[in-house]
Amino acid sequence: MKRFLLVVLFIIAGLKAVAAPQDTRPPLSKDEVLDLLISSAPSKVVISTVKQYGIAFKPTPQVLEEFRKAGADQAVLAALRGSWQEDIPKPLGDKDIRMMLAKDVPSENIVRAVLERGVDFQPTPGYFETLRSEGAKDALIDTLRAISPRPFSKAELLQLLTTRVDQNSIVQKVQQRGIDFGLDSENLQAFQSRGARAPLLAALRTAKRAKPFVAQTPPGPTLAPPLVEGKTVTLICEPADPDVPVFSEANDLGKLAARLRCGERVTFLERVVSPPGVDKIKYADGKEGFVADSYLEVPMATPGGEVKEPIAIYKPDPQYTPEARHDRIEGVVKLWIVVDAQGNVSDVLERSAPLGDGLDKSAIDTVKRWKFNPSTSNGVPVPVRVQVEITFRF
C-alpha cells in the first residue's frame, strides 16, 4: 500500500511539474494514462487528472478495451470518451484566401472552403479590391461580404490553449471574433485548468456573444436547358480551362482540330454513342468537330411542375469501410446526382464536407449503380439533377 501511494504521488507530481505556471502542459498521452492505471491509482484520481489535462489520443474501442484490461472502470472510460476533442477545422485567414488565389484555386472552391470553415477576420473594401486584382470572382467577393468572423467555441479555445499559442494573440482574436458560449463557473474552471491567464479570462468575460457557427455548402449548380440537336449553345469552361479543345475524330482525342474560346457559340449536332461523354458540334464556317460534353450546357432540369420526380427501382445501400467501422465514423454524405433519360446515374457531385475513411467514395460508387424510372416532362423522359443523402449510422 505504501509503495502504491508513492507511485501515484510520483506520477501526479510529474504531471504537475511539466505544467509551468505561465503555460499549460500538453494533454495526456496514452502511455501516461496507462501508467496511472497500471499503478492502481484510484478512479477518482485518474478521472480528475484526465479532466484537468485532456487526452492527446483518440479513445477508439480498441484503446478503451486496452485500458479496461489495465484496470479502468466504466467511470474512467466515460471520462476518457468525454475528454477527447476531434480536430476542429481552422477558420480561413485573409492570407489563406490570397494564398489559394495565388495557387490558382478556383474561386468556387474557395467559396466552399469559406462556407465550410468560416473566416477569422472582417474583410474590408480595400481587401475586396486586392482580391479582385488577384483574380477573385464575384461569387467569392459576395460570400465574404455576407459572412461574419466565426466565433470561438469552447472546444476550439480549449484546443488552442493546448498548442502553446501566445495567449496575447488569443486575446486579440477573442476580441475580434467573439465567443458562442457563456462563461459560467464550470467553463471558467475549464479554461483555468488549461492554463488561461488573467488577460484571456478578462477578454472572455467581455467578449461579444454570437450564435454558433454552422458549416454550409454552396447551393446546387445553376441548371441549363436541355440540348437540342441543331440548336446554338454556349461553350462553358471550368475556371482553370484556358480554352476548349476541339478534335477531328471522336475516338482519337490526340487529333486536335482547333481551340475555341470559352463562351463561344457553336451548334450542337449530336451526342456520340461511342465513346460516351463526347459531343459533335459545328463551329466557325461550318466546320465539324468533337468536344467533351462537359464543355456544353448540361442537359437537365429540376423536378417540379410538369417535370416528374425519378423513382428509384434499384437502390443498394453503401457499405461501411473497415477503417470507418474501426474509427466508428458516422454522418451524412449529401450528393447531387444526374439521372439521365434512361434512368441511369450519369453524374455524381459531393456537396457536403467529407466524412473520410473511405465513406465518401463508398457512397459515390454505390449511388452510381442506382437505377430509376426516369423523370418525365409531359410524358417524355428527361434528365434531371436531384439531391440525395446517404446516412452512415452504426
- Residue 232's pLDDT is 84
For residues 83 and 113, the answer to whether their CB atoms sit within 8 Å is no
- Residue 196's pLDDT is 87
Chain segment 215-274, per-residue pLDDT in tens: 776 554 443 455 678 888 888 776 567 888 898 888 776 678 899 988 788 999 988 866
- What is the architecture of the domain spanning 311-392? 2-Layer Sandwich (3.30)
What Å distances lie between residue 12 and 19, 83, 139, CA to CA?
A: 11, 18, 54
DSSP assignment string, 204-232: HHHPPB-PPP----PPPPPPPPPP-TT-E
- Residue 296's pLDDT is 77
- Number of residues that make up the chain: 394
- Residue 271's pLDDT is 81
DSSP assignment string, 345-380: EEEEEE-S----TTHHHHHHHHHTT-EEEPPEETTE
CATH 3.30.2420.10 domain position(s) in the chain: 311-392
- Using the CB atoms, write b or e for 239-268: b if 16+ within 10 Å: eeeeebbbbeebeeeeeebeebeeeeebeb
Chain segment 125-153, per-residue pLDDT in tens: 899 989 988 888 877 888 898 888 999 98
Task: Find the farthest-apart pair of alpha carbons in the chain and give their distance in angstroms, rounded.
Answer: 98
Pull the grid cell for residue 247. Answer: 478534335
For residues 236 and 297, the answer to whether their CB atoms sit within 8 Å is yes
Strand partners, 244: 260
Regions in the chain scoring below 70 on pLDDT: 1-25, 85-87, 163-164, 217-227, 238-240, 253-254, 273-274, 276-277, 297-305, 351, 353
For residues 29 and 57, the answer to whether their CB atoms sit within 8 Å is yes
CATH 2.30.30.40 domain position(s) in the chain: 232-295
What Å distances lie between residue 11 and 32, 39, 81, 177, 370, CA to CA?
A: 9, 9, 22, 39, 57
Q: What CATH superfamily classification does 232-295 receive?
A: SH3 Domains (2.30.30.40)
For residues 323 and 357, the answer to whether their CB atoms sit within 8 Å is yes
